[in-house]
A and B are shown apart, each in its own frame.
Chain A
């Protein structure tokens, strides 16, 4: 086999790192505005004009979504949820991206974007109902600017692109944010979405949370070049951002969305992060990754670095941090009681909304179902 002249390295290797795909926390190709130690740094292309209130707000978002996540994991362990897909470790990527959206923008999540849901004002209980098996997500996508969770990997990237094509036809100054993971970049539909987005210069931003694993399969199986470099092949900009740096994510995503609104077409953002928990509560990551790798990433925790920055710079004091903890406790209690107290769905409701206009044969089947259930009346 002849030597490949380019791309012979698999994703920025770090000498001596526990896993080959662990990059330095910030290499020259990764946008960072807040170091893991909590120091603000400048980037030549991305600046962030942000006030203290907003900084404190971001911290509050991060803490609250992590607390929601922890409560949901606990509820699953206690049998109150069928499943939970934890966002642990990805809070900054999600909150930063979500807070970059404006009113009128539309986001298309996967099934893990609880942090984005939070920033869009989705009631956490409307997400919990999905994982409890009550419904498939209880929020109004149009009202929230946040589509329902899409579980088939990558399908939502095409929906986002099509929606953006609609935005173009409406002549609206709005942008669309498509979420995907590193595994999804291998899907044909994701690649088709990028081709459509490029060909039509659609106002869509592809926000890839590279959390290093597609369930158990590491990034190397999906790609032999850094993911953000894929964008060049489609003909639009690609940028890698430190996904555990909420400020950098916010700055990069804001800029990409604004470019889309102004008619400059799509951008691919690779938010380099780490899934600190399992893929879902059904998964066991100890079977496929080393504990040392997790320990390495804990040093880059997205919340700790912002807390360090806020404390050290005097933007927030102990009273603030205590109030956020109190808010988190309150949120967790509300999520717990709301989840446990959720009414069971009516059995016959499965026949509703299958069609906008219920066909006669389905109505007949529903009537049989109802009659069958009614036949047990008095036996219970």
Chain B
């Protein structure tokens, strides 16, 4: 029997290990990922078992990591880059947007770019500046990239393997404040497709959409709403780009109401795109406008204020109330 209770962090570690066993071309790159095992220990023990050529402690230069990953991919390797924290991805953004995302199209399909960019993202850990960002919209706005955000150990375990095996570049967002959340993972299961959303709690009154760290928050809100007699359907989007909105549309046509939750700033965030698409597809089914619960349009605040900034159970329920009030 191969069911194990794993944290998200350990599930990622096992998933990476399995991907490296399955394909000798998989190379991990990043800062402190070797002997230290990464600042979150996601690559713990991998350098010891796979060697320094496959688990590369790079110089401290994010553009360098992504740029050399491009060259390795051109040579037939499958680089998996760890960005130590979300706020440190920006030095690498030139390589990600002008190169990683565009080389397949530029080369008319001759050069695949199977690069995975792992980023611990989001807030809630009491960190200093630049350690709590949610940069997904920048990447989702860039053609050629795929962007996923996992919310649980099973998706972490399977998702990282699926991302590595995929021929397109994948920005793989890991909910850092949930790294230590545990769940049972069936290591022999047939996993769901990577780029598909999933209904994680059925309900009839309001459809609540979330991904990454906010899935747990949405589920907590649904639990609380239940006590007040309200039935929330929660959908884990799982994939931020491409969006898989068919299950969302199906749900919203039943409930007529939708709330989108993410940590990233609300304006021009994923919620805005999702609201537009729901309006285009479900206009006649809607009982209320699609509402958004997100971070504010400020820099991520000092950690003493982050609980005020981040969407929580109460803010989700407040949005549910407003939706029901229409």
Contacts and interface: CB of A to CB of B under 8 A. Distances in A.
Contacts of B98: 152, 155
Interface string B89-113: 0010011001100011111111110
B59 A196 contact: yes
B276 to A, nearest CB: 13
A32 interface: no
Contact of A188 (B63, B71, B144): B63
Contacts of A170: 75
A155 B103 CA distance: 12
B305 interface: no
Contact of B70 (A142, A162, A167, A188): A162
A148 B106 contact: yes
Given A147-B74, A152-B98, A196 B58 contact: yes
Nearest to A202: B68
A159 interface: yes
A333 interface: no
Interface residues on B, range: 35 or more
B75 A158 contact: no
Nearest to A364: B242
Nearest to B167: A356
Contacts of B144: 354-355
Interface of A is mostly: helix
Nearest to A198: B59
A164 B71 CA distance: 8
A160 B99 contact: no
A161 B68 contact: yes
Nearest to B246: A360
A269 to B, nearest CB: 19
Nearest to B76: A166
A162 B68 contact: yes
Contacts of B68: 158-159, 161-162, 165, 193, 196
A155 to B, nearest CB: 6
B125 to A, nearest CB: 29
Contact of A166 (B77, B104, B242): B77
B123 to A, nearest CB: 28
B71 A163 contact: yes
Nearest to B24: A169
Nearest to B66: A158
A141 interface: yes
Given A158-B95, A356-B168, A361 B61 contact: no
Nearest to A135: B108
A189 B70 contact: no
Interface residues of A, number: 43
B143 interface: yes
B109 A353 contact: yes
Given A354-B143, A355-B146, A159 B110 contact: no
Interface string A283-306: 000000000000000000000000
Interface string A238-264: 000000000000000000000000000
A357 B193 CA distance: 14
Contacts of B91: 188
Interface in A128-174: 135-138, 140-142, 147-148, 150, 152, 155, 157-170
Contacts of B286: none
Interface string B128-146: 0000000000000001101
A352 B64 CA distance: 29
A359 interface: yes
B72 A155 contact: no
A59 B105 CA distance: 36
B62 to A, nearest CB: 9
- Tell me which of B67, B73, B195, B244 has the highest count of chain A C-beta atoms within 10 A of its own C-beta: B67
A362 interface: yes
B189 interface: no
A136 B106 contact: yes
Contacts of A169: 27, 53, 77
B199 interface: no
A357 B99 CA distance: 18
A152 B143 CA distance: 17
Interface in A336-353: 352-353
Contact of A195 (B59, B75, B95, B244): B59
A192 interface: yes
Given A136-B106, A199-B59, A356-B109, A159 B64 contact: no
Contact of B107 (A148, A158, A360, A361): A148
A196 B53 contact: no
B69 interface: yes
A158 B64 contact: yes
13 contacts: A148-B103, A148-B111, A150-B99, A158-B64, A158-B68, A161-B68, A163-B71, A166-B77, A188-B63, A193-B67, A354-B104, A354-B105, A354-B144
Given A196-B58, A354-B144, 13 more contacts: A141-B110, A142-B110, A152-B99, A163-B74, A165-B75, A167-B75, A170-B75, A192-B61, A192-B64, A353-B107, A355-B144, A356-B109, A357-B168
